Structures are given as structure tokens and as C-alpha cells.
A and B are shown apart, each in its own frame.
Chain A
Amino acid sequence: MTAIATRETAKLSTRRGKVWPTIILLIGAAYCLVPVLWVFMATSKSPGELFTTFSFAPGTGLVDNLTDLFSYGGGQYGLWALNSVIYAGFGGVLSTFISTMAGYGLAKYEFKGRNLIFFSILGGVLIPGITLAIPQYLLLSQVGLAGGYVSVLLPILISPFGIYLSRVYAASAVPQDTIEAARLDGASEWKIFMRIGLPMMLPGMVTVFMLTFVGIWNNFLLPFIMLSNQDSYPLTVGLYTLLSKGSGTPALYSVAITGAAVSIIPLILLMLFLQRFWRLDLLSGGLKG
């Protein structure tokens, strides 16, 4: 009798247990999607409609807004987008390779100074990247590099967190036996890394690349401090200047909103595409390793 009763309540609670988690998750999803939906709606509105019609009603100004956006400042928006791609793409690839190499070296070899190097770099995770930006700017301006592409590209190449993750991943993904076997076959250390280490570390590298890419793409303060020429701005700094000018001329609001909407499309697509490849369990398991 009691057994049947427990089974009944269990069935009841699973039915209840089915509905509430789903509802709460959907509320969370709505909360996260609403601003994105809003910006796409706002993009379709002419500057007049933006301030008068209800926010989630579509407008009639989509084409005009897009034309305004891409003709603003002689096509500056396109330049900013290209710059963001260069900084995040080029910087992300190079930074990932440097991190992978360092992580592999730290995980797979015993050598003097290994712990010193590892813990110094690990300490770098705790230093707010932003507090580094001003001294970096001062040093680079003393050697005449501040203001150019290089001044944004160089400082982002070192990623303590990326090195830490690569080390954790190399330790678990590349078996020592495989390396030893290749050594016995007479392969050089570099060749072992390129032919055996790299392919085995690929899933970890995708994760590190995604994190670095998004980090650089979203970075505001470093390019904001380093760059003086508007043509070398990334999207974040460009959109910010648009907005701060817009407080005087509300017509620029529409341009800023359209710019924001267009800028998030490629990143969302990239995220959806790479989602299946990356291994975020690296992060959660990280502390144990």
C-alpha cells in the first residue's frame, strides 16, 4: 500500500517536475533574448518612429538605417568591423598558438624554472587586464608604437588563462607514452609537437581560441586607450564614439542602434557554429587538475 502511494506521489512530482524547470528555463531564455529582439526591431525604425512608436512594433526605416550606417563617416563602420575581425581573428589565432605551445611545454617536460614560469603566468590571471592598459600605453608610446594596429595586437597575444587551460588540456589529452614512442622512432621534439601534440590538443585549442576571440572582440579599454585614429578603431570603440556624439544629435542614435545590431550577428552565428566543438568542461574541471 505504502509502496503504491510513494509511486503515485513520485509520478505526480515528476509531472510537476517536468513543467516548472521548463518554464523557468524559458523565462531565462526570454530575458536573454529580449534586448536582442529589441535591437533588431529598433533597427527597422526611422529616427522619428524610434521615439514615438511602441518598441516591439516594426518600423519602416530598415533600408535607410543600413544605408546611413554604412555611409557614416565615409564608410567608417565597415572599417571598424574589419578592424575587429583583424584584431580578434589574427590576435586570437596567434595567441592560441602561443598558449598551446607554452601549455604543451609546461605539461610535457620537466625542466628547471618550470614552476616559476607557470606560477608567474598563473598570477597574471588575477591581475586586472585593465590596470595593465595604462602602463602598456605609456611604454608603447615611448618606443613610438602607441596608436597603431600593433599597439592593440601585441598586448593581447599573452593570455595567462589560455596558457593555463592549454597546460591542463595537454596534460590529459597527450599521453606521455605516445611522445616516448615517437622519440624512439627518432622524431625531433618540434616534429612531435606539430604532428602528435597539436592534433591531439585541437578540441582544447578551439576552446582557447573562442575564449580569446570573444575576449578581444569585446575588449573596449585597451583599444580605447591605445588608438587615436578613428579609422583603426574596433567596433566597440567605434560604437561608443557614435553613442557619445549621439547625445547631441539624436539622429545618430539610429545609426548607433543599427550598428549594434549588425555587429552582434556574426558573433552570435560564430558562437552557434563553434558551440559543438568546444570543450568547456576544461574550465569546470580546471580547479581539480
Chain B
Amino acid sequence: MTARVATRPRKRQRMRLAPYIFVAPAVVLFVVFMLVPILYAAWLSFQSYKLEGGGILGTRVQVFAGLDNYISVLSDPALATGFGHLGLYGIIAVPLTLGLALLFALLLDVPAARAKRFSQTAIFIPYAVPGVVAALLWGFMYLPSTSPFSYISRELGWGTIPFLEDPGIFGSIANIAIWGGVGFNMIIIYTSLRGIPDEIYEAARLDGAGELQIALRIKIPLVVPALVLTGIFSLIGALQLYSEPTTLKPMTDVISQTWVPLMTIYRNAFLTDDLPGAAALSVVLAVGTVAVSALVLWLTNRRNKGAQS
């Protein structure tokens, strides 16, 4: 009895300590590799380098620059064009990725459809292909000398398809992202559809509703949370467009070093040695991403509340 009483406080103390030990590795890594880099980037974005002493003997020193970096980065016309490119790409890629993912998920959920397992696996396979490799595959399928589509088109007398020329490039890059993203989003929406109990449809079927009506009136409204989730991921992904245009760059002249904002950040940091400028632009992009995601969440929440009341 006394032994039991004695162990209890020690035990409770251990229990109080345990959760901190479980989360400690994650918290340490979070602080070192996320929080500190964010703060460091923010600090760096207010600094600038100055040559002191003059001549060859001059040393570079960091001085406080206020908002200078932000002003110069934001007034750079290359950034506006970069966001323009990103916008055009996003307008094509995001709705099509989500739309196709939803379409395929709904079709997989149609009881009468055949070859489901095969289609599901085939559509999911591009998820396993890295963006760089996907861009490489499609790049060769766009390149006039190796493209099968241009080959057929030439045989028919229609000439080479301008996949890698100026307006075509947006569709071409969006296509790479759609190809890579549809399968994953389809699976998320499909698993969400599978979670809906069958009884819900039975009443509708008894009323004579067709599969199309069931899909439009019952299924889609019920998978809205999954659509929001995939929508936010697709938007964040679109803002981070980098590997695809970078990989295609050697194949075409229309992609410049500052074609999208992330390419500009890379150029500032490593090619023109303007680290504070790169940091300022990183901060702008991070704040922009958080703002866009928050906006999407807020809008969908408001709509949901409006629908309920």
C-alpha cells in the first residue's frame, strides 16, 4: 500500500513529461529547419550589401536597407511578367486538374463502369513520376524532332505543332502538371466518395434519379471538403511552379531565366548574387501563398455556412 502511494506521484510526473518527449524531435526540427529559416529570410530581406573602403581592397558589409529590397523586387518588370505567366498557367492547370480528378472519381464510383482497377492504377501512375522526369518525357513529346504528335501532324500535311512556342508553352506546361496531379487528387476525392453510405443514394434511385443526377445533386455536394483540400494543394503547387519550366528551358527559347517567380528567386540568389533580393521575394511569395490559402478556406467556409442557414 505504501509502495503504491509512493509510485503514484512519480508516475504522474512521468506522464506529464511524456508528451513533450514525443513531440520534441519534431519541434526541434521545426524550429531549426522552418522557423529559423523563415525568420532569417525575413531579416535578410531588410539588409543590403555595401562596399566599404572602395577599390579592390573594399570589403562587403551588411547594412540595414529598410524596404529597399521589397521596392526594387516588386518594381522589377520581370516579376510582373513572372506572375502573369504563373496566372495563365494556373488558370489552365488548376481547374482542369480538379475537374478531371472529380470526373474520374465520379466515374470510378459508378457501379456499372468496367475496368475500374486498371483505370484507377493507370491514372495514378504519373504521381510516382518526379516533375523533372515528367517534364523531360513530355518535353521530348513536344520537341519538333522527336514529337509523335508533330510527326503525325506533319504526315497529314498540317506541319509541326508549336508546343514549345509562345502561347502553346502555357498549355504544354499546364499539361505536364495536370498529367502528374490528376491521379492523386482523383484518389483523394474517390476515397471521400467511398465514405458516403449507400443508403443515401437508394432513396434517390427509388425516386427515379439517374446516375448523373445522383452525381450532381448528392455526390458532389458531399465531397466539397475533399475538393477544398485538393484545391488548396493544387493552388500551393501552382504557385511553386519551378521544375517543369526549368527542365524545359534547354529545349526552347521562350522560357527566360525569370519566367516564373521562383526562377527569379533562384537567379537572384545564385546567378546575380543578390541574396537580400531573393529573400525579399521569398517572403512575398510565402505571404502570398498563405493569403491565397486563407482566402480559399474563408470563402468555402462562408459558402458552407450560407448554405446551412
Which A residues fall within an 8 A CB radius of B? Answer: 6, 10, 13-14, 17-18, 21-22, 24-26, 28-33, 35-36, 38-39, 42, 50-51, 54-56, 98-99, 101-102, 104-106, 108-109, 111, 114, 117, 120-121, 123-124, 126-132, 134-136, 138-139, 154-155, 157-158, 160, 163, 183, 188-190, 193, 214, 217-221, 225, 235-237, 239-240, 243-244, 246-247, 253, 256-257, 260, 263-264, 267-268, 270-272, 275, 280-281, 283-288
Contact = CB atoms under 8 A, between A and B. Distances in A.
A50 B143 CA distance: 12
A260 B34 contact: no
Given A32-B125, A126-B236, A136 B37 contact: yes
B40 A18 contact: no
Contacts of B194: 281
Contacts of B115: 22, 25-26, 29
Contacts of B62: none
Given A25-B123, A264-B129, 18 more contacts: A17-B210, A24-B107, A28-B182, A42-B140, A98-B25, A109-B22, A117-B27, A126-B289, A126-B290, A131-B289, A132-B37, A160-B30, A188-B14, A189-B15, A217-B130, A280-B187, A283-B229, A284-B188
A218 B135 CA distance: 12
A247 to B, nearest CB: 4
Nearest to A121: B30
Contacts of B258: none
Interface string B119-134: 1011111111111111
Contact of B26 (A101, A214, A220, A236): A101
Given A51-B145, A126-B293, A260 B133 contact: yes
B243 interface: yes
B148 A284 contact: no
A264 B192 CA distance: 28
A96 to B, nearest CB: 12
Interface residues of B, number: 104
B201 interface: no
B27 to A, nearest CB: 6
A260 B148 contact: no
A121 to B, nearest CB: 6
B188 A280 contact: yes
Nearest to B300: A287
Interface of B: 14-16, 18-23, 25-27, 29-30, 33-38, 40-41, 44, 100, 103-104, 107-108, 110, 112-116, 118-119, 121-134, 136-141, 145-148, 151, 179, 182-183, 187-189, 191-192, 194-195, 208, 210-211, 223, 225-226, 228-229, 236, 239-240, 242-243, 246-247, 249-251, 262, 265-266, 269-270, 275, 278-279, 282-283, 285-286, 289-290, 293
Given A101-B22, A217-B130, A135 B14 contact: no
Given A17-B112, A135-B279, A214-B128, A127 B286 contact: yes
A135 B188 contact: no
B290 A220 contact: no
Highest count of chain B CB atoms <10 Å: which of A98, A155, A218: A218
B30 A33 contact: no
B242 A221 contact: yes
A117 B27 CA distance: 7
Contacts, number: 294
Given A21-B113, A268-B125, A105 B19 contact: yes
Contacts of A257: 136, 140
Contacts of B225: 284, 287-288
B18 A189 contact: yes
Closest 7 CB pairs between A and B?
Answer: A105-B22, A55-B148, A284-B192, A29-B122, A109-B19, A135-B37, A102-B26
Nearest to A22: B114
Given A35-B179, A102-B26, A124-B34, A236 B133 contact: yes
A193 B269 CA distance: 44
A43 to B, nearest CB: 11
A246 B61 CA distance: 40
A272 B146 contact: no
14 contacts: A25-B119, A36-B125, A36-B126, A42-B140, A111-B16, A126-B236, A127-B34, A158-B30, A160-B30, A217-B130, A236-B130, A267-B129, A271-B127, A284-B195
A127 B279 CA distance: 14
A163 B126 CA distance: 25
A98 B29 contact: yes
B193 to A, nearest CB: 8
A124 B122 contact: no
Contacts of B20: 105, 111
Contacts of A109: 15, 18-19, 22
Given A18-B114, A98-B26, A220-B130, A111 B19 contact: yes
